[in-house]
Structure 1
Amino acid sequence: MKFIKIATLAISLSLVGCISWVFAKSPFNDMPEGNYAVDLTHASVVWKVSHLGLSDYVARFADFDANIDFDPSDISKSKVTATINPMSIQTAYPKADEKDFDKVLATEKGWFNAGEFASITFSSSSIKMTNDTSAIMTGELSFLGVVKPVELDVTFNGAMLRQPFSGKPTMGFSASTVIKRSEWGMSKYVPSIGDDVEVMIEGEFVKSDD
């Protein structure tokens, strides 16, 4: 009986060791160089804006793409690009389909006007590491035909040289920024609907096959 208990303990410790190895986070700089594409099954672009100062109205974009051209030898030389389809707005507005609420926000002039401006794009111009796990990323946001610089606070959540499900190198990030929508020409209902829009981004990025 004692032998069985010892054997069971040994097996348990071995399994824990294997699991720990599989899920161990890799240092940022140890990740391989190259292109990393966003995994849309583990990513989100959520935004919120004040409504009459009473609550924050929250929505998201469901259709987007993003890539990182990663340089582990010099993080500042890495490049991030992203594209969002404004037609993919999801608001969870009650009976949104009946009122075409999401479609109005996506297509109407004064809002996202997707008929004239079919995409929102971002391209980074600099990445400045502030410590081992955070950075300030500056880039150009193209929105409603206006191109202006924005700064994002980026947090490096972790990385795996071999993600246990895909078997591929994978990195995870969180990012946030606040933009004044009127600076891009969307001033409808300001200030009843806030000018400041907080954008929150989550994403896992998977190394593309060479």
Structure 2
Amino acid sequence: MPEGKYSLDLSHASIIWKVSHFGLSNYVGRFADFDAIIDYKPSNIEKSSVTATINPLSVQTAYPNAEEKDFDKILGTDKVWFNGTMFPSIDFTSTSIAMTSDTTAVMQGELSFLGVTKPVSLDVVFNGAMPIQPFTRKPTLGFSATATIKRSDWGLTKYVPNVGDEVQIMIEGEFMKTDDE
């Protein structure tokens, strides 16, 4: 695969999170508006880097009776939740990539959320690559990543422990080679 910048194909990507609800079930949500760029270095994968940004106002849940109470809007804007009006983006910048096999790595990075920046670790799986993806006709890379964070580390403490402190994050993404190189 060629070296260079790869942009996220949002139509083939997702960021899903889940958190315990009273220990009875895992409540699941997602973000619909986000972007990421990979600076891919095939001769030394560990020198590659990733940056990503999420619009917290794009949170989506399957909360019933949405016409009575716009729960997603409350989560996105309320000061005790994602507070997207004051903090309009959640940002990630990788700081290191350590290969653990030919197709897996641990990516360390800085996550900025609610005005707080903390280190996070993602377990990354390289799903595959196509030198020419059939529809876009561009080189394309595919990845999955998971992480678990404590939301209280970023000051998001509403209803802890009834709503769990640990948040599991699942990321899927296809990245296309950009033409601007």
Separation in 2, partners of 1:36, 1:177: 22
Match among 67, 74, 85 for residue 37 of structure 2 = 67
| Shift, 1:115, TM fit | 1.2
Tell me the C-alpha RMSD between the 2 structures.
0.6
TM-score, normalising length: structure 1: 0.85
Residue 50 (str. 1) matches residue 23 (str. 2):
no
Greater helix share, structure number: 1
| Shift, 1:98, TM fit | 2.6
Match among 100, 105, 117 for residue 70 of structure 2 = 100
| Shift, 1:96, TM fit | 1.9
Match among 120, 124, 144 for residue 154 of structure 1 = 124
Separation in 2, partners of 1:63, 1:167: 24
* 1:26 alignment counterpart: none
| Shift, 1:92, TM fit | 1.4
TM-score, normalising length: structure 2: 0.98
Number of aligned pairs? 180
| Shift, 1:200, TM fit | 0.2
User: For structure 2, which runs of at least 5 residues remain unmatched after alignment?
Assistant: none
- Give the letter for the 1:189 counterpart: Y
Deviations 1:118-143 (A, max 9, x none): 10000000000000000000000000
| Shift, 1:95, TM fit | 2.1
Q: Which has the larger radius of gyration?
A: 1
Match among 164, 175, 178 for residue 145 of structure 2 = 175
* 1:117 alignment counterpart: 87
User: For structure 1, which runs of at least 5 residues remain unmatched after alignment?
Assistant: 1-30
| Shift, 1:86, TM fit | 0.4
Greater strand share, structure number: 2
* 2:136 alignment counterpart: 166
Match among 112, 126, 129 for residue 99 of structure 2 = 129
- Give the letter for the 1:84 counterpart: I
Partner SS, residue 98 of structure 1: coil
Separation in 2, partners of 1:81, 1:46: 18
Deviations 1:100-133 (A, max 9, x none): 1111111111100111111000000000000000
Separation in 2, partners of 1:97, 1:173: 36
State, as a whole percentage, how many aligned pairs show the same letter.
68
What stretches of structure 1 move > 6 A for 4+ residues in a row? none
Separation in 1, partners of 2:176, 2:162: 41
Separation in 1, partners of 2:67, 2:170: 25
| Shift, 1:97, TM fit | 3.8
